[in-house]
Every structure is written in structure tokens, then in C-alpha cells.
Amino acid sequence: MLDYIPAARHRGGHHHHHGEDGHHHHGGGAPPEYAPPLVELRRGGLTESVHRGAVAVCDASGKRLRGLGHPAMPSFLRSAAKPLQALPILTTGAMARFGLDDRELACMCGSLNGEDFQVATVLSILGKAGLGPELLACGVHPPSHRPTAKALQAAGQKPQPVHNNCAGKHAAMLVLCAHLGYDTQGYTQPSHPVQGLILKTVAQMCAYPAEQIGVGIDGCGVPVFRVPLIALAGAYARLADPAGGGLPAETAAAVGRLMTACLAHPEMIAGTDRLCTRLMRAAPGRLLAKTGTEGTYALAIPDLKLGVAFQVEDGAARALAPVACQVLHELDVLDHATLAGALADLARPQIKNHRGEVVAELAPVFGL
């Protein structure tokens, strides 16, 4: 496992340049800078701050086809692991046994907004397996969707675990316990068999040895995994192209079903006005976009048979949208008109002062 070793950074002006093909190149055959600039905040046309990181674009064999920065930058998958973690719902037969549908499957892959339709879906998943919401051990926070949070407050109600953005993932874990005969008590613990099954699945999809995966605890209390950035990109390439990823036939079939569900239900992958859902709706049926958190993000693009992962080194959430939009533009998934129109606030977010005036802009400063 490569640990973080910061390379010497260029202190002068930007060294970026583009070749005749329009792609980003590093001069003189030098090794890639560990974490080159990805996004700048510009005020008055001048650089005020910089978000650095790395990008990897891979095929299902795990080969990096395009990218910049160090391909092995260590990255905690965080919520980007959710589609991988949901696969055992299919491979174990739990989905068929309990009659779960594609909308519910997509919900188990999402980082939910806590919106009413998502809460209803989580309750439906649990109900079909004969489970109650009191078993959810993900903790409590207000719904990410502000209108829903305000409506709860106005009704004199407090947020419940079912409003947690990880409620779908936790529902999936509980359903696996019900199907496989595991005790639901302690299902969040690394030693619980459901977490062992999930670690094995993540290792298989990342094509990375389970014993070398770094493990921490996520915001919702379950194990969370750290792998080199290129391994995450490879996992999403296998989501995009299960047949080309060397997966066992039943796993490849499960991936195909899971992707069908996710692509059909972008509202379950995040929610109203959220980055992932907006990107997926801007290119209907063409991509799965999934935030991690702390600067991790991943994309699966089936028609290109590609997976993308990027890591914003400082963990800044505000840099995710400009990087994702730039990558999808360079891969010809999003065109200029879309980025300048419906997604303008994501591609180049504007910063306003307290008088409502636009005073700064975030902009991508890289090419692949």
C-alpha cells in the first residue's frame, strides 16, 4: 500500500501545457507531479487558492488510459463504495427472495437526501425482509434536503436514522443479515460476517488484495475502505464493463442488473439538486456518478467502457463539481452547451458576497 509521500511541488507559475491533440502533457518525460492543480478559485481574474489532486481514467482491466497526478494516491472510498457494497444483495439471492425492485436496489447504492420518497423506499426495503427501521444503526442527522428538514421541524418531528444519507446502505446490510441468517446485532462491526462479505466484494471489484485494503470507520459507523485511486477507477470501470473485467459470470450479471437500476433511478443515487443526480440527468442513461466524500468521486460510463476516479487532496467538496464536469467534457459525455447552460453552476461555480455580487469563480485548470 503506497502511503502519502508529498513530492516536491512547483513553486513558480503553472507548468501546464497542451499538445496539438489538446490533451494535457507533462514536459520532458518527467514523472507526474503527485498532486497537480485541478481547480482554482479566481477573484478579480487572479488566483486566490488552489485545490490539487489526481485523476485516473481506467478500462475494466485496470489499465489507466488517461489521467494526471499520482495514480496510487491513497483514497478512502467512503460513499463511492456503496454500489460495490450493494452487490451481495444480488449475488446472494436476497433481492429475488424478498422481491426487491430496481428502485429499491438503486436506493441501496445511493447517498440519500432524506427526502420523503427516499425514506418511503428505505422503509419498503426493510418491510419486505420483515425488518423495522429501529434496527438501523447509522445514526441521526437532519435530512440533507433542506426543504425536507424544514418540513420535519415545522411538523414538530425529529430526524430519525431513516433520514440518514446512508440509510439505504444500512438497509441493504440488514437485508443481507435476514437472508443469510446473521444476527442483526452488531452488523456494523468489522468482525460481523456481513462486513466480511462486503470487504471481499469490494476487494474483488477493485482487483486489490483484501488484506492490503486500509480500513477505517465511516461517518455512519461501518467499515470504510482505502485503496489506491487507480483501484477505485478500475472498480468503476468493471461497473461500466462487467464482461471485460474478468469477473465471475454471476458477479458480472449482478453488476449489469445493478447498473440498469442505478441508471434508471438517478433520483435515488443522491436526490433533488445534488451533484450526482444532476450529472446523471444531464446525460440520461450514460453514467453512474457517485460521490465519496473528503474529495473522493467516481464515475462509471458504460458506453465508453470506462471508470473514472479522482481525489481532491484537501478534501474540499466545492472542487468536486468542476472536476467532474471537466472530466466528463473531455470524455465527450457533456458538451459545451450543457456546461455553459444547465450545469453552469456546477462547471464553474460562482461565489457571491453578502451583497449578492459575484466576486469569485471556481474553475478547472487541467486537461487529461
pLDDT in tens, 274-319: 999 999 999 999 999 999 999 999 999 999 999 999 999 999 999 9
pLDDT in tens, 85-103: 999 999 999 999 999 999 9
In this predicted structure, what is the pLDDT of residue 17?
A: 34
Looking at the DSSP bridge assignments, the partners of residue 307 are 58, 300
pLDDT at 121 over 70: yes
In this predicted structure, what is the pLDDT of residue 32?
A: 66
pLDDT at 28 over 90: no
pLDDT band with cut points at 50, 70 and 90 for residue 30: low
pLDDT in tens, 65-92: 999 999 999 999 999 999 999 999 999 9
pLDDT at 212 over 50: yes
Identity of the residue numbered 196: G
Identity of the residue numbered 147: P
In this predicted structure, what is the pLDDT of residue 33?
A: 87
pLDDT in tens, 267-286: 999 999 999 999 999 999 99
With contact defined as beta carbons under 8 Å apart, do 41 and 47 qualify? yes
pLDDT band with cut points at 50, 70 and 90 for residue 134: very high
pLDDT at 20 over 90: no
214 Cβ neighbours under 8 A, 6+ residues apart: 1, 74, 76, 225, 226, 227
Report the C-alpha dihedral over residues 63, 284, 108, 86, rounded to 10 degrees.
Answer: -30
> What percent of the chain shows pLDDT beyond 90?
91
Residue entry with cell 443479515: 177
In this predicted structure, what is the pLDDT of residue 13?
A: 33
pLDDT at 349 over 70: yes
Model-level pTM?
A: 0.91
pLDDT at 144 over 70: yes
In this predicted structure, what is the pLDDT of residue 138?
A: 98
Name the H helices within the chain: 82-85, 87-91, 94-98, 102-109, 116-128, 146-154, 167-180, 193-206, 229-240, 249-264, 266-269, 275-282, 320-330, 336-340, 344-347
At 292, give phi and psi (nearest 5°): -100, -85
With contact defined as beta carbons under 8 Å apart, do 194 and 185 qualify? no
Q: What is the mean pLDDT of the chain?
A: 92
For residue 316, how many other CB atoms are within 10 A of its CB? 18
